[in-house]
């Protein structure tokens, strides 16, 4: 049996979903952007164009849930299947879009550059427990109107793995889709074999802003899987209590899902989220707050009940530094996410309310992810029931170190952590140089950077993509930064 | 006789209707506007501010008190503007810049500033330089507050600063805020101030106003 965390009884899940459908039908969702609204009308959605609002008939949403795939497949740069978000599968992926990075040599918090992002891609590409990549932060050395697509290009140039990303403007998705299409035969091939998962955020409560709405439409058109990520702040822009928040959250996700399905039935949609509490004194938005964790785990259950893949911002910390708080928050979040069967767990590497990315933290989080994944492996009988014979052998031999049973099972049963989890005794530790986690992390980063290999893109392809940037960037004659 | 202590208490408890009524009654009883403002409203808000600082009350209580303050100010505002002997109540034009829909932080700043007696003209999100300028002119604003949460949109703040200068609105003070911005960025684009949260934003507004008043004296 796979260990499984459940916070809600099935009957309560049903009531929450039912109430969310009522909210969608009665209150409806506000929409922004005339062009996008027209697209929704053309797609047959019952939009009230003067009120700029959709009230979703219950049946429409129920059918949209049916037409959403229960498995979202992500393919790598070469077009090979890489990950399947479905059922109780768990994948860890770096959090996306930080504003700043923590410099790995000086620990200074500063603006990210293109070189930082390439380093990130190389390091992350080699981490065993981070399933795919994300556009973790936004380089500041390019004109910002092209920054969203530039990040994606840098990642794709240095890793074959799929990417979690998203656009910053109403027109952002299309340029990013065109870049991804270079890695496929044609547009149809990209739809069949998606290379990225894009975040689209409703504007809580129950609004779709112009940019995210355009983004959903463009993603659906290009077959890009969409993770719908409401950001409720409990007590501020959401009921402070769990059930109320879950109803609002669910309604918002389903509204995005229904829109995506109307544009192109079968568009892969992931039930995502980044709920946080609202700190009643500091006015900050901790995503790692214990009540937020309850919301994450609960909506994971709701997603599974609806047979939709899930995503959550859970393996991260709101601490400013790679300190005890960072380790605790990240580890707790990752274990709860894994136990809840969240399919795509965003977070590794992130600090400070998704504002600051740390490479050092990323490699540490890779180790935490290994632990969480190990923990949820189903417990099964392994020639150890009945046990009497094994115990007899132990008593006779005084140990089982050389037993057939041990030799067969220990390599897969007893996980040996990497150097970041210190298992030395005091003397061993001193003898090895009294290293702190940070020293170990830096060594791992250097090693990853030295050993990283990925088939480089053809110069002609670099050229073509960079040309696309030059042509579409709002800054005339833009000079693209060197990055490798 | 107006019981200012009781009025302060009502304000502290966020009883906006009572505060409004008491403000009207105090004026009807012939108390000077400036006195009603200072002894009736500001004195109450001072306690709110102190208690918030010392963790005795939290954001919801502050906002309830701010709403009561706003109710009282709605009565006083026109009189303060007319009355030459009174300190005019200052107008702040607030908005999230073009291309950006994040408004949670901006709204909090607005509500907190109302609690300090400022009049807020909220332009919402996705605000262009032209809209900022038009509102500053129309309301004769002393402060222009801009919010941006995206690296793609924060650069638009510079566009606004330049446009405001070009429009010859040299007396309006420009303040900025939002996670990607900062003191350094404010300086770079020629804004007059940056604040990291709503409480310090209000401090910043007050400081800029008093600097302005001192400079003009
Ligand atoms: C909530 C949130 C949202 C909500 C916004 C809801 C709303 N009505 O505002 C939703 C979900 C809609 C959203 C959407 C998006 N978001 Co957003 N969002 C956030 C988040 C998590 C929190 C912001 C927040 O409200 N904080 C709480 C408030 C109280 O704090 P605050 O805003 O900082 O405000 C305080 C101070 O800054 C200051 N202040 C603020 N304004 C002002 C103004 C003045 C004058 C002064 C003096 C002070 C001041 O006082 C405030 C109160 O204390 C941030 C990350 C973060 N932690 O900042 C990302 C973040 C800003 N978002 C991000 C992104 C990418 C997006 C999207 C593009 C995602 C997408 N692809 O759809 C869209 C934006 C579309 C658009 N065109 O705008 C990125 C930005 C990345 C980048 N490089 O620019 C961030 C950093 C998260 C991340 N790492 O991915 N988002």
Average pLDDT, stretch A382-396? 98
Cα A438 to middle of ligand 1, angstroms: 30
CA-only gyration radius of chain B, Å:
18
Name the nearest CA neighbour of B160 among B98, B93, B92, B105.
B98
- Is B202 near chain A, with CB under 8 Å? no
Average pLDDT, stretch A35-61? 97
- pLDDT(A367) > 70: yes
The rounded distance, in Å, linking the Cα atoms of A462 and A450 is 23
- b/e burial code for range A301-333 (CB count within 10 A of at least 16 → b): bbbbebebbbbbbbbbbbbebbeeebbebbbbb
**For residue B61, what are its two tokens?**
């209580």
Instruction: Place B217 in a pLDDT band, splitting at 50, 70 and 90.
Output: low
How far is the alpha carbon of A282 from chain B, nearest alpha carbon, in Å?
Answer: 8
Average pLDDT over chain A, rounded to an integer: 97
- Is B184 near chain A, with CB under 8 Å? no
Instruction: Place B85 in a pLDDT band, splitting at 50, 70 and 90.
Output: low
Per-residue pLDDT reduced to its tens digit, A125-163: 999 999 999 999 999 999 999 999 999 999 999 999 999
How far is the alpha carbon of B82 from chain A, nearest alpha carbon, in Å?
Answer: 36
- Determine, for residues B59 and A280 on separate chains, whether the beta-carbon distance falls below 8 Å: yes
Query: What pLDDT, on the 0 to 100 scale, is given for residue A271?
Result: 98
Do residues A213 and A33 lie in contact, with contact meaning Cβ atoms separated by under 8 Å?
yes
How far is the alpha carbon of A30 from chain B, nearest alpha carbon, in Å?
Answer: 14
Q: How far is CA A144 from CA A35, A417, B99, in A?
A: 24, 40, 12
Name the nearest CA neighbour of B109 among B13, B203, B210, B12.
B203
Classify residue A100 as left (phi > 0), alpha (psi -120 to 50) or beta.
beta
The rounded distance, in Å, linking the Cα atoms of A15 and A92 is 30
Average pLDDT, stretch B28-35? 94
- pLDDT(A52) > 90: yes
Per-residue pLDDT reduced to its tens digit, A173-220: 999 999 999 999 999 999 999 999 999 999 999 999 999 999 999 999
Residues 6+ apart with CB under 8 A from A140: A111, A112, A113, A147, B151
What are the φ and ψ backbone dihedral angles of B152, each rounded to 5 degrees?
A: -75, -25
In what side-by-side order are the strands of the sheet with A100-102?
A109-110, A100-102, A356-358, A350-351
pTM score: 0.96
Do residues A156 and A455 lie in contact, with contact meaning Cβ atoms separated by under 8 Å?
no
Residue bearing the CA closest to ligand 1, atom 35: B105
- Determine, for residues A168 and B152 on separate chains, whether the beta-carbon distance falls below 8 Å: yes
Query: What pLDDT, on the 0 to 100 scale, is given for residue B86?
Result: 66
- Is B66 near chain A, with CB under 8 Å? no
Residues of A in contact with B105 (CB under 8 A): 283
Mapped onto helix, strand or coil, the DSSP state of residue A393 is: helix
- Is B196 near chain A, with CB under 8 Å? no
Residue bearing the CA closest to ligand 1, atom 51: B105
Per-residue pLDDT reduced to its tens digit, A436-470: 989 999 999 999 999 999 999 999 999 999 999 99
- pLDDT(A225) > 80: yes
Average pLDDT, stretch A419-442? 94
Place of tokens 């009522």: A22
**For residue A195, what are its two tokens?**
């290379």
Residue bearing the CA closest to ligand 1, atom 44: B177
Name the nearest CA neighbour of A276 among A322, A304, A314, A328.
A314
Query: Of all residues in chain B, what percent carry a pLDDT higher than 90?
Result: 89
Instruction: Place A482 in a pLDDT band, splitting at 50, 70 and 90.
Output: confident
Query: What pLDDT, on the 0 to 100 scale, is given for residue A314?
Result: 97
Query: What pLDDT, on the 0 to 100 scale, is given for residue B14?
Result: 96
- Is B32 near chain A, with CB under 8 Å? no
Q: How far is CA A197 from CA A97, A118, A219, A397, B31, in A?
A: 14, 20, 9, 54, 65
Ligand 1, CB cutoff 6 Å, lining residues: A 96-99, 138, 166-168, 199-201, 203, 211-212, 215, 231, 283, 285, 353-355; B 99-106, 108-109, 145-147, 149-152, 175-180, 195, 197-198, 201, 204
ipTM of predicted complex: 0.93
Residue B68's H or E segment, with its range, is helix B59-82
Query: What pLDDT, on the 0 to 100 scale, is given for residue B216?
Result: 74
DSSP letters of A394-434? HHHHS--TT-HHHHHHHHHHS----TTS----HHHHHHTT-
Touching A: B residues 34-63, CB under 8 Å:
52, 55, 58-60
Q: Which structural domains are found in chain A, ordered by start? A: 65-375 (3.20.20.480), 386-415 (no CATH)
The rounded distance, in Å, linking the Cα atoms of A470 and A143 is 11
In what side-by-side order are the strands of the sheet with B143-147?
B119-122, B91-96, B143-147, B173-177, B193-194
Per-residue pLDDT reduced to its tens digit, B94-149: 999 999 999 999 999 999 999 999 999 999 999 999 999 999 999 999 999 999 99
CB atoms within 10 A of CB B166: 10
Average pLDDT over chain B, rounded to an integer: 94
Per-residue pLDDT reduced to its tens digit, B142-198: 999 999 999 999 999 999 999 999 999 999 999 999 999 999 999 999 999 999 999
DSSP letters of A46-82? -EETTTTEE---HHHHHHHHHHS-S-EEEE-TTS-EE
């Amino acid at each position: 049996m796979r260990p499984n965390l459940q916070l809600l009884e099935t009957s309560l899940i049903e009531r929450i979903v039912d109430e969310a459908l009522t909210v969608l039908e009665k209150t409806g969702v506000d929409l922004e952007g005339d062009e996008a609204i027209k697209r929704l009308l053309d797609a047959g959605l019952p939009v009230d164009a003067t009120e700029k609002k959709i009230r979703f008939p219950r049946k429409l949403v129920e059918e949209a849930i049916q037409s959403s795939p229960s498995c979202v497949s992500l393919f790598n740069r070469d077009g090979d299947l890489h990950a399947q978000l479905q059922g109780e599968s768990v994948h860890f992926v770096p959090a996306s879009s930080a504003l700043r990075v923590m410099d790995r040599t000086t620990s200074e918090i500063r603006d990210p550059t293109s070189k930082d992002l390439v380093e990130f891609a190389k390091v992350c590409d080699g981490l065993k427990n981070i399933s795919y990549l994300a556009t973790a932060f936004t380089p500041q050395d390019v004109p910002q109107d092209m920054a969203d697509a530039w990040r994606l290009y840098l990642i794709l140039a240095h890793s074959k793995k799929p990417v979690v990303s998203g656009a910053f403007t109403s027109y952002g998705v299309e340029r990013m889709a065109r870049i991804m299409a270079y890695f496929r035969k044609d547009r149809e091939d990209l739809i069949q074999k998606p290379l990225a998962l894009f975040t689209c955020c409703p504007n809580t409560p129950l609004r779709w802003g112009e940019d995210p709405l355009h983004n959903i439409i463009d993603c659906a058109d290009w077959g890009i899987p969409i993770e719908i990520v409401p950001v409720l702040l409990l007590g501020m822009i959401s009921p402070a209590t769990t059930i109320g928040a879950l109803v609002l959250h669910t309604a918002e996700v389903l509204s995005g899902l229904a829109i995506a399905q109307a544009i192109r039935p079968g568009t892969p949609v992931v039930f995502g989220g980044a709920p946080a509490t609202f700190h009643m004194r500091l006015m900050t938005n901790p995503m790692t707050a214990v009540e937020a964790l309850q919301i994450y785990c609960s909506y994971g259950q709701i997603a599974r009940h609806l047979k939709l893949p899930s995503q959550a911002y859970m393996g991260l910390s709101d601490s400013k530094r790679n300190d005890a708080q960072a380790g605790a928050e990240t580890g707790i979040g990752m274990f709860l996410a894994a136990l809840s069967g969240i399919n795509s767990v965003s977070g590794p590497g992130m600090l400070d309310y998704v504002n600051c990315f740390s490479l050092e933290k990323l490699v540490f989080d890779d180790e935490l992810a290994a632990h969480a994944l190990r923990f949820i492996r189903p417990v099964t009988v392994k020639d150890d029931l009945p046990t009497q014979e094994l115990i007899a052998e132990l008593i006779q031999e005084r140990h089982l170190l050389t037993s057939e049973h041990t030799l067969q099972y220990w390599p897969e049963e007893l996980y040996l952590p990497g150097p970041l989890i210190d298992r030395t005794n005091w003397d061993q530790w001193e003898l090895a140089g009294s290293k702190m986690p940070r020293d170990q992390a830096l060594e791992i980063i250097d090693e990853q950077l030295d050993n990283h290999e990925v088939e480089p893109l053809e110069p002609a392809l670099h050229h073509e993509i960079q040309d696309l940037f030059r042509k579409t960037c709002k800054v005339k004659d833009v000079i693209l930064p060197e990055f490798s | 006789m107006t019981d200012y202590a009781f009025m302060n208490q009502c304000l502290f408890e966020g009883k906006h209707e009572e505060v409004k009524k008491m403000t009207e009654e105090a004026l009807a009883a012939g108390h000077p506007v400036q006195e009603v403002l200072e002894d009736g409203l500001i004195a109450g808000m001072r306690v709110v501010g102190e208690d918030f600082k010392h963790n005795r009350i939290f954001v919801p209580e502050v906002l309830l008190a701010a709403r009561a303050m706003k109710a009282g100010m709605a009565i006083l505002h026109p009189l303060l503007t007319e009355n030459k002997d009174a300190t005019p109540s200052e107008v702040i034009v607030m908005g999230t810049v073009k291309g950006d829909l994040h408004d949670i932080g901006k709204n909090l700043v607005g509500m907190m500033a109302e609690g300090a007696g400022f009049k807020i003209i909220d332009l919402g999100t996705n605000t262009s330089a032209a809209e900022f300028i038009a509102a500053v002119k129309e309301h004769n604003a002393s402060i222009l507050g801009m919010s941006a949460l995206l690296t793609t949109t924060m650069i638009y703040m510079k566009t606004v600063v330049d446009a405001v200068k070009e429009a010859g609105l040299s007396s309006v003070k420009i303040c900025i805020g939002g996670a990607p911005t900062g003191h350094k960025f404010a300086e770079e684009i020629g804004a007059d101030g940056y604040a990291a949260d709503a409480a310090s934003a209000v401090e910043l507004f007050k400081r800029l106003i008093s600097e302005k008043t001192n400079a003009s004296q």
